[in-house]
Structure 1
Amino acid sequence: MPVVPAPARAGARMTVTYRFGTSLRRIDAEATLEVAAACLASHGVRRVVDVTPLDRVGLPVFVSIRPEGRTLAVHAGKGSTPGEARVSAVMEALEFAVAERPPSRETVSVTPREAREAHGLDFLSLCPRLGVGIPSDRPLDCLLGECLLGGGPRPLPVETVHLLEHGSGSGYFGSNTTGLASGNDVVEATLHAALEVLERDVKSFQCVRDETRLIVPESLPPPLLEVLGRIEAAGLRCALRHAPSASGVPWFQAVLWDPDDLDPSLVNGGYGCHPDATTAATRAVLEAVQSRLVVIHGGRDDLIDTHRRYASMSPTERVGHLQRVLRRALDVDGQVELESVPSLDTSGPLESVLDRVLDAVGCARLGPPVRVVLESIDPRLAFVRVAIPGAENFTNAERKVGRRLVERLRAAR
């Protein structure tokens, strides 16, 4: 897919936004990789490997190997080109390495009551673990983040920002990487982080009640049809589905499987959330391809739990599970055309795109978003953690629940 430079507004710090098939960036992937490559050894990244040939699809996937990583040792990256996939894998590895470090700034002690009364932030809106109560007057170690819509600093519990040692932190929120992102500057990183938070929010609600609808394949644009054609030529099938998001930012799910090899580990999902609907859909499909290759590669630490879960099922249970997943993936009830999914305006510089995403967050009555800029390892790179209070972040593995999801669960009874 082509790289198209877009004009920036007058006065913007940088004058070009590169529009790749799956992302918006300040500079092209190769230029970012040149900067990031100098940081790999000092941050424990020992190898960057092209794993594309391990599968027959041929869509680019790379992995970065970080053997001493505390939370994850293998990081995958996807993209519409090998360069984009490589830089995606590299930057994720660096994100984890930076977030695993102790906070470089001083923490402050804040109780949930103080956060609510002095800062207007309800810690329960940050999705604590299911069944965990947070005493109103228990002090929590926090980092002060910047409210992206103005109004002064906001405290975030340190474990919602950094990836702490096991057993560290309050234990109320667990550890995850939602909203952890990098970029060529803070604005780019913030945009990527906010979109990831919104992606996980929609996905959380689909875990409770699947409201996705199949996208009519004939409605897809030629570049995405070409991607799906390569998948089908490899003997695989892919279903692309859409669900509306609270923010209005387009969101898609892709389900990828081999009809001749129904190993449940190789029925793979991918998700995409982006201001442009076609880009969001493309990201979902490429992530499903990445997920499949991650399983084939076999190096990811978290694959063990997946294999254990399926190994614990009887053959009948596995067949039933697969039938349910694929029946839902192929359900044509209420199918929609891609053109019916509205996009946000992505014209202009990244600052303008980010402003529109933040406006969408506000219209959904989420937030206000809070950003912590993490330690810089190079002035040409930026690492951030973005939290959007009210956005959900539920997975079956880590059962984190906020107020909106609780309300949905109660309504579903």
Structure 2
Amino acid sequence: MEQYERIGPPADEALAYLMSMRQALGITRIADITGLDRVGIPVVQATRPFSFSNAVAQGKGASLARAAISAILESAEGFFAERIEYFDVVHGSAKSLEIPSGRYETWLREPALADWRDKETAWVSAENLLSGSCEFVPLELVHTAYLVPPSPCDGIFTPTTTGLAAALDETDAVTHGILECVERDAIARALKTHGFLQHERIDPATIDDARVLTLLDELARKDMIVGLWLAPSPVGLPVIWCHLMESNPRETALLNLPADGSAAAFDPAAAVVQAIHEAAQARLAAISGARDDITRASYPKYPDWQLIAAHRQLITGGRKDVSFASQPAYRAAAGETLLRSLLTRLEESGICAVYLVRLNTSPWNRLSAVRIIIPQLYPLVE
């Protein structure tokens, strides 16, 4: 299975380095919450109480060390994106800065301001990885300082963490950020597609990858049912959406509601594994109750048991129209790196801009934190 292997030092070395900076990042607690659920996929939470967005970050991985690395990196990327004082900001309107018409319309808040191009706002310089040119992107699509009251320059664009990534290697961070943009766009398209869940489910009988089959067997032994859907991506990379539920009676289930996760990868099998891991992480977010973006609405006093039963039926007995075996893996062109081939694929699919904003990570110059913005791809607004 060809998949994207994260670049950088061995897990133990990376974790030791990240643990040494946790206090300066404001991380007060790193917790292994795997045992709260029966699934068994390692999940770790990192708590940063003075965060300007989510105070609790989560990470998952094939091992506890990798899950801890994932959690700390997620918390760290938010920390660096909050430091607005480190950005070189330019103030002006889209019209005065000659931002191409149509470039950011997909990312406008609803209801969109008719005269938004005339409104002065904050911009930062970004590198277009397709052309090599430096262009302006809205600061609102880069920072994560979600304050009350908000900055006077906020309010035009949809705030999101999509494309935010940190790693101990810049190529790794950039690749991770691009894949997240592709993933969120595909899920946004799926949500806009009438009847998507009824028509784009993967037939489990067509799965021929040993790693995926082993993982599905392990989940079945733990009374978990898995639904997998192929989400539509104009880029052509496999994007998998996973729904994970318990098959236990509601009296003994830890969590009756379905949990979902999604992933984009170079290989459909890798995307399936990552999406399942993401869904397992989402289950633990709900079970632990620690995430500050999960409100009381997620825990109804009187669950809609008919809706829950219908969703379980959708997973176990619904149509299975998509063949997993027919989904191609994405290979790097001869002589090219995966990142360069990925950028070529984006350009061939009609994308004209892939913006890279390098976040200031001083004094930890060994760490790379980036924000990737691909304006032509949809944001995922939940």
TM-score (norm: length of structure 1): 0.83
Distance between the aligned counterparts of 1:251 and 1:60, measured in 2?
22
Q: What corresponds to 2:123 in structure 1?
A: 142
Q: Aligned residue for 2:53?
A: 71
Q: 1:230 aligns with which of 218, 241, 257?
A: 218
Query: Which residue in the other structure is 1:255 paired with?
Result: 243
Q: Deviations over 1:119-157 (max 9, x none)?
A: 536453451112121522222110110111125212111
Q: 2:260 is matched with which residue?
A: 269
Check conservation: 1:186, 1:373, Cα contact below 8 A. no
Partner residue in 1 for 2:23: 41
- C-alpha change, 1:250 and 1:56, in structure 2 (3 Å) is same
Alignment of 1:4-403 (within 5 A): 23-115=5-97, 118-120=98-100, 122-133=102-113, 134-164=115-145, 165-166=147-148, 167-168=150-151, 169-209=153-193, 210=196, 212-217=200-205, 219-259=207-247, 260-261=249-250, 266-304=257-295, 306-307=297-298, 310=300, 318-330=304-316, 332-345=318-331, 352-377=337-362, 378-396=364-382
Q: In 1, Cα distance between the equivalents of 2:297 and 2:205? A: 30
- Measure the CA separation in 2 of the matches of 1:49 and 1:347: 41
CA distance, structure 1, for counterparts of residue 205 and residue 13 of structure 2: 35
* TM-aligned CA deviation for residue 72 of structure 1: 1.0
> How well do the aligned residues superpose, as a CA RMSD in angstroms?
2.5
Corresponding position of 1:16: none
**Change over 3 Å in CA distance of 1:348–1:78 after alignment to 2:** farther
Code of the aligned partner of 2:214: E
Q: Deviations over 1:245-292 (max 9, x none)?
A: 110011001111112237876310010101122111110011111111
Which runs of no fewer than 5 residues in structure 1 stay unpaired?
5-18, 397-413
Calculate percent identity across the aligned residue pairs.
26
- State the 1:359 CA deviation: 1.6
Contact 2:26–2:48 (Cα < 8 Å) also in 1: yes
How far off its partner does 1:220 sit? Answer: 3.7
Say if 2:103 and 2:376, in contact at 8 Å, map to a contact too: no
How far, CA to CA, are the matches of 1:121 and 1:389 in structure 2?
Answer: 12
Letter in 2 for 1:204: A
Q: Give me the whole-angstrom Cα distance separating, in 2, the residues matched to 1:330 and 1:254.
A: 13
Gaps of 5+ in 2: none
- C-alpha deviation, 1:360, in angstroms: 1.9
Is this contact kept in 2: 1:112–1:122, CA < 8 A? no
From the superposition, tell whether residues 212 and 103 of structure 1 become closer, same or farther in structure 2 (CA, over 3 Å): farther
8 Å CA contact 2:36, 2:288 repeated in 1: yes
**What CA distance in whole angstroms lies between the structure 1 residues aligned with 2:269 and 2:377?**
23
User: How far does residue 329 in structure 1 lie from its aligned partner after superposition?
Assistant: 3.3
Residue aligned with 1:76, SS: strand
Count of aligned pairs between the two proteins = 370
Contact 1:275 / 1:346 at 8 angstroms: preserved in 2? Answer: no
Cα shift at 1:306:
4.0
Which string of whole-angstrom CA distances, capped at 9 and with x for unpartnered residues, describes residues 392-412 of structure 1? Answer: 01323xxxxxxxxxxxxxxxx
Asked whether the equivalents of residues 199 and 251 of structure 1 are also in contact (C-alpha less than 8 Å), the reply is: yes
In structure 2, C-alpha distance between the alignment counterparts of 1:203 and 1:178, rounded to whole Å = 12
Query: Following the alignment from structure 1 to structure 2, what is the Cα–Cα distance between the partners of residues 346 and 82?
Result: 30
> Which runs of at least 4 in structure 1 moved beyond 6 Å after TM superposition?
262-265
